[in-house]
Structure 1
Amino acid sequence: MTVETNVRLLGSAEFGATAVIGDDSSCHLTTASGFSSSAAHMLGGFSKLMSLNHPHLCKYVEFVRSTVLGNAGFVISEHYSRSAVEELKECKKLEVARIISLLQPILSAFTYLHSRYITIGCFSLNSVLLSSQNLVRLAQYGLHCISGSRRDLEYCTYSCWYIPPERFLQADIKNGFICRAGDIWSFGIALLELSIGCLLSEIWSPKQFYSTLIVLIRNKERDGSIFSLLLAEIQQKKPNIHITSNITIMIILEKALCVLPSQRPTAKALLSIISGESNSYSNVNKDYSFYDSKNDEGSLRESVEHMRESLEGEEAKTTRNLPVHEAFFLWKLCGSSIETILINHDIIKANPPVIALPYLVDGDCFMYGNAHIRKYEFTPDIFILPSNNFRNRMKFLNESKFLISFEMEEKTREIYDLSLMVKEKDIEYQGRRMLILRRLLSSFPFKKSLLFCECCHDIPPLYRANLWSALLNIYWDIEKRFIAIDTFSPHSSDRQLLVDIPRCHQYDDLMASSIAHRKLKRLLKTWLLLHENYVYWQGLDSLAAPFLVLNFTRLASAYSCLESFISLYLHDFFLRDNSSVVQEYLAVFFHLLAFMDAALYTHLSAMDFRPELFAIPWFLTCFAHILPLHKLFYVWDVLLLSDSSFPLFVGLAIMEQLRAGLITTHFNDAILLFSDLPDLNMERLVQYSLNYYNTVPASCTFRQFASKHVREEYAMTHYTVAELNEFCCPRISATDVIRLTEHSSLLVVDVRPQYEYSRGAIVGSVNLPPYGEEDTLDTIKTALMNAQSAEHVVVIVDNEHLQRAKKISKLCVVEGYNRVCVLDGGVQKVRSMHDIFCMPA
C-alpha cells in the first residue's frame, strides 16, 4: 500500500558521490526573491530519478546542496567499484555469451529510461557497473535529466569516444542536440569495444578519433552505418585486433552505428533482437527485493558448511540487508559530512573568498569581475564515500534489538523517554524504528492499530511520507482520479497562485525549484476544481507544501493527503464566506487561553488584543504559514495522531513560549512580537501541546462547525459567535463533569440562588448565591485556592440561561484562577444523573 513492494537492498554496494556545479548564467526563472538558482532546479529534477525503480539501474539516493561552495551540489547513488572496463582489461577478449549477458541488462535499462523520457547523454563502458554477485547495473544515467539538458551545469562532462556525430559537430554549443538516438550510438561504441576487446581510447586520442569519424562520414556515399568502415580503420591501426564473429552482435553494431539519428533503432528494438522482450527482466530478483521465495526454498537444502559460513557472516548480513535509502540515512548519522569528505580529497577545490570578490555588484545582485576565480575546480568522476565507520558501527549494534515480534515483545519504555533530538541522532534507535515501521507499512491496513501505536512514539523522517499517508487513510487507487483533472485551463485563482507560489517556503531548496512551483500549482488547482464549494484563501499554498515535499514524485498521493487533511482538521475553513467558522475557532481558542492562563488572557483582553489580530494564519494553515517545514513536520507528526482540536493546543503552547514577552507588553509591542515570531523550541512546543490535549476536558474544545474527526460527539448548545464572545472561558459537557467527579479532580461552584440549590445539586459542590448587585468570591476563595494548587478544574453551574455563570466565571478569570469553565446547559443537564446529583445535606 504505502511502501514499495520491491526495495533495493544495500548488498555489496557502496555510496558514490558525484559533484555537480550549477551555472546561474543560464537560469531564467525568477522568484519573489530574485533568480532561482540552478542548483535548486537540479534538486527539483533529481526527484524524478529517485522515483525510478529498475533492477539494472543503480539507485539514486539523495541530492545534497553544498553549504560552503555556493551553487554546488552532490549526487549520491548506489555504486560498485568494479566496471565493465575492468573486466575487459582483465580478460582482453570476452566470450560471446558474456557479451550478450552484458548487453541484455544494459538495453533493458535503456528501454526503461527512454520509456520515461530520460536521455542518458553520457553513457560509456565506465557506466556499466558489476556487483559482487555479477549483477549488471547502469550508473551516471541521470546527470542530463537533473540538469535540464545540461543548461544548469557549468561544466559538461562526457567521454569523447562515445559522443554521437550529431553532438561532436556541435561541440562548441553547450546545449547541443541530445536525444535518445545518441544513447544508441554510445551503446554501439561500447559494444564495439567489448567485441574487439579494446577501448577506443587505447587506439586514438580524442582529436584523432574526431578526425577519423569526420573522414568516414564524408567518404560514405550514402546514409547508413559506418560500422564496417570504422572497423576497417581500427584493424588498420591495430592489425592484431579481431572482432567477435557473432551474427546478433554484428547486426546490432550495424544498426546502432548509423550516422543519422533517425536511422538508429530504439533500445526496445535492439533488446528484442538479443533475447526477446518477454525475457528482458529475467534473473533480477537477487539483491533487489526483501523476500524471495526461491531463495527461501533453497535455504531448506543448505549444507551445514554453508550455514556455518552464513552464521560467521551474520554481522555483515545486517548491513547488507538494509534498504539502500535506510543505509545512507544511517551512514549520515555516523557523523560523516559529504562536503567535507570531497573537499578533503580534493574532489572540489575553491579559491579563498577574499580573492574572489567581484569588482561590481548591481542592483539585481549580478557580479562583475573575477568570475574565473569564483569558479570551482572539480573531478567529475564518481567518488566512493568511505563506509568503514558506518559498517563498524553497524557491526557492534545490539542485534537482539532487531529481532522483533509485534505480539510478544516487551516495550522498552526507557528509550522512548529520550528527547526527540537524541533519538534522531541514535543510529541503533533509528535503525530499529525504521525496521518496525517498514514492516508495519507493508502489512497496512491489517496492522493499522499497531502502526498508530508505534507512530505515537515518534515517526522516522525517512518514512514520514508513507506514515502520513497511512494515518490519513490514503490508498494507491487515486492516480486515475487525479490525472483526469484538467489543470491547464484558466481558473479564477490563477492570478493569485502566480503571486503566492513563488513566495511559498522559498528558503527550502526543493520548494525554490521551478519544478516545485509547477507541481504546487497543479496540486492546488486540482483541489479547487474538485471542491467547487471552496475557494482559494491565502495560506492554502503553505498548507499544501509539506505534502508536496514529502510526495514530490507522487503528486496524486500529495493531493489525497491534502484533501484528507483539510476534511479532517480544517473543515469548511475554505468556504467563500468562512467568517462564522474562523470566528468560532478563534473564540474557542481564546476561551482555552483563559482556561490555561487566566492572567495572560486578562492582560490581552484589557488592551483588546484578540486572536483575530494574530492567530488566523496559525489555524487557517495549521501553522504551515508560520513554521519552517523542518519544524512543522514535528508538529504534524503528533497532529495526525490526534483529533481536529489539536491545533488549538498547539496555539496554546506557542502562547506559553511567548508569555514572558506578552504579559508586560503594550498593544503595539505585541503586534511587533507576533509579526516576527522568535525561534520556538519545538520539543517543548510539542510536549506542552500534548500535555494540554490530554489534560483539558475534550468538550471544552467543542465547535459546532468542527468535522466529525473528534474524540467524542457531544450534544452541546450551539451558540452564535456573538453569544460565544459573551463567555470568557470554555464550556464543559455533563459527560466530562461525571468523569472528573469519578477522579475527584474538580471543584463545582453552584451559583444559583440558595432556594434552588437546596432542591438539588451536584455532589460536593459549593454554593455561591447572589448577595446583591456586587458579586464577590470571598466565601469560596479558600476552595478556589485549594483547587488552583491541586490543578483541579473549576466548574461553574447555573440554570440553563447561564447569565450568572458568565459573570462569576469572568470574575474568577480576572482574579487569575486557571481551569475555570461553565457547565453547558446548566443544571438541567445533570438533574437526571442521580449518581452525581442529589439533595445537599
Structure 2
Amino acid sequence: MRPLKDAKLGAFTFFASALPHDVCGSNGLPLTPNSIKILGRFQILKNITHPRLCQYIDISRGKHERLIVVAEHYERNLNDFKQGQRASPEKVLQIAYEVLEGLEFMNRHGLVHRALSPNNVLLDCKGNVKLAKFGLYHMTDHGADVDFPIGYPSYLAPEVIAQGSSHPSDPSHDEAPHPSGPKTDVWSLGVLLFELCGRRLLQNIDISERLKFILTLGCMDDIVTVFAEEHGCLDTIKELPENVLDFLRKCLTFLPSKRPTPAELLGDPVFGGISCQYRPFQRPVSLFSSSLRCASLELPEDISDLCKDDDGDYLAERGIDEVYHLWCLAGGDLEKELTNKEIIQSKPPICTLPNFVVEDGESFGQGRDRSFLLDDTTVTLSLCQLRNRLKDVAGEAYYPLLEDEQSTLSQSSSSNELSSTVTLPLIIRERDTEYQLIRIILFDRLLKAYPYKKNLVWKEARLDVPPLVRGLAWAALLGIEVGTFRPSTTASTRTPPFPLTDRWIEVDIPRCHQYDELLSSPEGHTKFRRVLKAWVVSHPDLVYWQGLDSLCAPFLYLNFNNEALAYACMSAFIPKYLYNFFLKDNSHVIQEYLTVFSQMIAFHDPELSNHLNEIGFIPDFTNLFFFFLVCYADVFPLHKIFHLWDTLLLGNSSFPFCIGVAILQQLRDRLLANGFNECILLFSDLPEIDIERCVRESVILFRWTPRSATYRQHAQLPKPTGDNGFGKPASYFSSDYQDMPKTDLSREPLALCDLKAEASPRISAEDLIDLCELSQAGLPKRNKSGKPKIVAVDIRSSEDFSRGHVSGSINVPFSSVFNPDGELVQCPATGALHTYKGSVIVVISHAVKSAIIFASQLVKVNFPRVCVLDGGINKLKLTGLLTVPSPQI
C-alpha cells in the first residue's frame, strides 16, 4: 500500500438496488443483497495500485443498502481549468498520456472506467493525474446492482448511449446490455481533451439535445470539427497543432471497431517527446512473492538526502491503509462525516413514505426521496483528530530499531501511559490509537525482514498481533516459505470433478460464517470453492471432511485478495495441528486424539473428569471432537477465532488440548451440577465464552503439561534436522514432542486399547530428567507457593528404593496402599503425599501396570497433575542419574 504523502482520504456514498423480500434463489435461500455483492467485488480493487489511479481503501455497508467507499483523494481536478482558460497543447498531451497510462493498467486487470469526467480526473500537488472512481463500474457488476447509470451522459460513448437505459432485472429486456470495453473510455477521454482545448464545458449543454446530437455523428467524417461548430469554438480548435487535432480525431472515432484502445494510443507518435519522461511502472512486490523485494531499490548519490526532515510529518510516510485504520481508531465515523456535509440526510419515517391513502380514497404522496439518488460528491476526511491524538508520539517511534536482546516496545515511545497499555485487556489495546501505531510499525518492519527476523515476529506475537497485519503475521508464524506456494486459483474448473466433494462444498459454504458480509458475498463463495478445491486436488491422500470450510474461513478472510497465501496458510496449519485428521478412514486418529484429551482433563481437573465419567459424558458422545477438528473455527465467531488463534499458532500440536480444558473449566460449575442430557444440551448451544480468559488459562495449563504427556502416535511425523530452513523452534512453547529426535529415553507408542485403559498420561524419562534437573544433581524446581513444581513418587518397596532412586523423590510403597489382591487398603493421598498436592506427580515403579493403578487411585481422590513414567525405573537405570542414600554412621 502506497504512503499517504500529500494525498487525503475521501469518501463517497451510493445506494445499491433493493431486492424483493419474498423471493428466494434456486437453492431455496434468500437472495444475496446487492450491497453484499458489491462489497465482495470491491475487495480486489484494493489490490489495484498504480501512480495514475487513486488507491481504494475500504467500503462499509449501512442501512437501506447504503454503501460508503473510502479512497485516496485530491482536492484539485480538471474542473480547475475554468471555462475560458484553455490548457496549453503540451499540458493537454501530458494529461492525455497520464490518463491513458491509468486506463491501460486498468484494462490489463480487466477493468473499464466508464465514469470519466473532469470530477474524476484528479491532480496531485505536482499536477500529475490520478483517476478516481475507476472501480464503480466493476463493483456494481457493470451497473446491474444499482438503479443509476454508470457514467455521465455528456461523456458516454455513442455505443453506450445507443444501448439505452436498462436494468438486468427489468422484465421488458431479454438480456442485459453488453459490458463496455476499453474503447468506451477512449471516447470519454476525447471529450475531456476537447473541453480542455476548446474552453467549453460540454456538461452545461441540455442533456437531451446532447444525446440527440451524439447519435447523429455516425455520418460525420470529422467529428472534432462538428463538435467545435456545434459548441461555438471552431476558431479555438483550429489553433491547435495538427498532431493534437489528429489525436482528438482518433479518440472521437464514432465506430468502436475503428477506435483505438488505450494501449494503442500510448504508442502514438504524438507522445514521442513525452513518453521518455515517464518510467515504466513496477508493481510493488508482496511479502511472500518469489521476486526480489529490493530489485528496483535506488539510493540517492548523497545518502544524507534520505535523512532530511522537511516538516516532520511522519504520519504521511505511513501506508494510506494504516492511516485510515488509525483514523477509525481515533474516533473517525464515515456516516457522521457525510451527514455533516449533508450528503446523508435523515428524515422521520413518516416523511419517507412514498404515498398514503385517506378514508375517502384520495391518495397523497411524494416522488422518490432525492436523498436516495446518486450524489457523486467526495467528502474529504479530516485527519486533525488523528494528528492531535498522535502529537505526543516521538519521531523515533516511526523508525524502531530491531534488537534481538530486548523489547522494542519500550524504545518506541517515552510515554509511561503507552507502556502501561500493555497490561490492559486485549480488546482495549486493539482500540488504542497510539499503541496500535507502535505495534503496526514494529510488525511492518519485522515482516519486511521475514524470514530473517522470524524469531522476533514470534517473540512480539506473544504479546499481541495487530489486527491490520494479522494475515501476514499468521503466515510468518506458520513458516510459509517465500515463493513456494503457487496453487491454481482455477482448480475447480481445470481439474476433474469430484461429485461427492463438490456437493459437500456447495452445501457447506452457504452455512460457513455467513453472518460476515465478506464471506457471505458471491465473491467470497467463489474464493471459498477455489481454495478448498485446490486443497483437495493437491492432497490426493486426504479427503474433504465437513469442517474444512471453517478452517479455511479465517485464512480466506485475512487474505481475501491473496488466495494463494490463504491456501498456503491452511496447508501449513492442517499438518501441524490436524495431522491425518482428513484421512478417508480417520477413526484411529480420532480415537487416539479424544483419549489423550480425556487424560488431559484428568491431569488438570480430576474432579471434573470423575464427574464426566460417572455420567458417561465422554468426548466420543459429544461434539467436542468437532471442536478439535476445526480448532474451534466453527464454534466461535471470527473476531474470537482471531484472538484464539493468535496464541494457538504460537503453540504446538498439543495446545488445542489445553484450549479444550480451559473451555471446560469455564463451564465447570454447570457441568458438575448437571447430568448427561443437560451436558449434551449445553454443548449443543454453547454459552458465551470469555476468549481472553480462555487464552490466558490455556497458556497456564500448557506450561504445567509435560511435553510428552500429549504424545500421540498418529501426530505429525518428526521433521529432519534443519529441514525447515529457519533453525530451531523459538522456544519450548512452540516446539513439538514429535519433532524431537527419538532416543532410548523417549516415550514408546501404545496400542489404542492400552491407552484407553489409562486415566493418567505417561511422560518420558527424558522429560522427567529435564523437569527435575537431574543432570545438575540439584533440587527440583519449585513454584511460587514453595512446593516443588514436580515430584517423583516411587512406589517400589523400601529395599528397591534404597538401591537407587531419583534425586528428591519420595517413597510410597505400593504394598502400603494395596494388598496383594490389588484391593485398596489405604488412601494414597494421605501422609507425606498430601503436602505435594498441586505439583506434577510422576509415579515411578518397576512394573508400569502398578504405577497406572496407583495413579488412577490418585485421580479418583481428585489429585491433579498425576502422570506415570513411561517404561518405569528401568529406563533410568542406564543413565547413571539414580542416587543411593549415604549409609548412616
TM-score, normalised to structure 1's length? Answer: 0.89
8 A contact 2:487–2:567 mirrored in 1: no
Cα 1:215–1:282 shift into 2, 3 Å: same
Residue among 659, 667, 672 paired with 1:663: 672
Cα 1:278–1:650 shift into 2, 3 Å: farther
Residue among 66, 70, 84 paired with 2:78: 84
1:384-783 matches, cutoff 5 A: 384-407=380-403, 411=408, 412=410, 415-478=421-484, 480-483=486-489, 485=491, 487-488=493-494, 489-492=496-499, 493-612=501-620, 613-707=622-716, 708=718, 710-712=735-737, 713=740, 715-742=746-773, 743=781, 744-763=788-807, 764-770=809-815, 771-772=818-819, 773-776=822-825, 778=827, 780-783=829-832
Which consecutive unaligned segments of at least 5 residues does structure 1 have? 1-6, 360-368
Amino acid paired to 2:679: A
Shift of 1:132: 1.6
1:444-482 deviations in Å (ceiling 9; x for gaps)? 122222222222222111111112222222245346543
3-state SS of paired residue (2:867): strand
Aligned equivalents of 1:275, 1:452: Cα separation in 2: 52
Amino acid paired to 2:379: F
3-state SS of paired residue (1:739): helix
* Partner in structure 1 of residue 249 of structure 2: 254
Aligned equivalents of 2:767, 2:155: Cα separation in 1: 76
Match status 1:269 vs 2:264: yes
8 A contact 1:423–1:429 mirrored in 2: yes
More deviation in 410-419 or 679-688?
A: 410-419
More deviation in 710-719 or 651-660?
A: 710-719
Which consecutive unaligned segments of at least 5 residues does structure 2 have? 169-176, 287-292, 356-364, 411-418, 720-734, 774-780, 782-787
Aligned equivalents of 2:24, 2:57: Cα separation in 1: 28
* Partner in structure 2 of residue 196 of structure 1: 198
1:35-74 matches, cutoff 5 A: 35-66=31-62, 69-74=63-68
Identical positions, percent: 32
* Partner in structure 1 of residue 732 of structure 2: none
Match status 1:112 vs 2:105: yes
Shift of 1:346: 2.6
Cα 1:433–1:830 shift into 2, 3 Å: same
* Partner in structure 2 of residue 365 of structure 1: none
More deviation in 757-766 or 20-29?
A: 20-29
3-state SS of paired residue (2:667): helix
| Structure with bigger RCO (C-alpha 8 Å, 6+ apart) | 1
Amino acid paired to 2:251: A
1:312-327 matches, cutoff 5 A: 313-314=311-312, 317-327=313-323
Aligned equivalents of 1:358, 1:500: Cα separation in 2: 41
3-state SS of paired residue (1:19): strand
* Partner in structure 2 of residue 795 of structure 1: 842
Aligned equivalents of 1:357, 1:810: Cα separation in 2: 73
1:164-201 deviations in Å (ceiling 9; x for gaps)? 11222333213544222211111111111112132112
Cα 1:750–1:479 shift into 2, 3 Å: closer
8 A contact 1:347–1:378 mirrored in 2: no
Cα 1:371–1:496 shift into 2, 3 Å: farther
Aligned equivalents of 1:600, 1:370: Cα separation in 2: 67
Shift of 1:485: 4.4
Aligned equivalents of 1:406, 1:455: Cα separation in 2: 15
Residue among 227, 231, 239 paired with 1:230: 227
1:68-217 matches, cutoff 5 A: 69-86=63-80, 88-89=81-82, 92-174=85-167, 176-177=177-178, 178-202=180-204, 204-217=205-218
8 A contact 1:727–1:806 mirrored in 2: yes
Cα 1:755–1:294 shift into 2, 3 Å: closer
3-state SS of paired residue (1:699): helix
Aligned equivalents of 1:91, 1:813: Cα separation in 2: 93
Aligned equivalents of 1:65, 1:542: Cα separation in 2: 24
Aligned equivalents of 1:288, 1:625: Cα separation in 2: 34
Match status 1:810 vs 2:856: yes
Aligned equivalents of 2:654, 2:305: Cα separation in 1: 58
Shift of 1:695: 2.3
3-state SS of paired residue (1:482): coil
Aligned equivalents of 2:602, 2:329: Cα separation in 1: 43
Aligned equivalents of 2:886, 2:573: Cα separation in 1: 49
Cα 1:566–1:828 shift into 2, 3 Å: same
More deviation in 525-534 or 639-648?
A: 639-648
8 A contact 2:344–2:371 mirrored in 1: no
Cα 1:180–1:808 shift into 2, 3 Å: same
* Partner in structure 1 of residue 777 of structure 2: none
More deviation in 608-617 or 24-33?
A: 24-33
1:211-261 deviations in Å (ceiling 9; x for gaps)? 2223333x53xxx662332222122xx566445512332222112212222
Match status 1:376 vs 2:382: no
Shift of 1:552: 1.5
8 A contact 1:775–1:808 mirrored in 2: no
Aligned equivalents of 1:32, 1:687: Cα separation in 2: 43
Cα 1:402–1:776 shift into 2, 3 Å: farther
Aligned equivalents of 2:886, 2:634: Cα separation in 1: 53
1:123-175 deviations in Å (ceiling 9; x for gaps)? 11211111123232111000111111111123335322111112223332135
8 A contact 1:404–1:436 mirrored in 2: yes
Cα 1:614–1:838 shift into 2, 3 Å: farther
8 A contact 1:793–1:819 mirrored in 2: yes
8 A contact 1:730–1:822 mirrored in 2: yes
Aligned equivalents of 1:573, 1:250: Cα separation in 2: 69
8 A contact 2:489–2:534 mirrored in 1: no
1:233-382 matches, cutoff 5 A: 233-235=230-232, 238=233, 241-242=236-237, 245-273=240-268, 274-275=270-271, 279=276, 281-282=278-279, 296-297=300-301, 300=304, 310=309, 313-314=311-312, 317-353=313-349, 376=372, 379-382=375-378
Cα 1:301–1:808 shift into 2, 3 Å: closer
3-state SS of paired residue (1:35): coil
1:24-59 deviations in Å (ceiling 9; x for gaps)? 439986677522121111111111101112111111
8 A contact 2:814–2:850 mirrored in 1: no
Shift of 1:372: 5.8
3-state SS of paired residue (2:67): strand
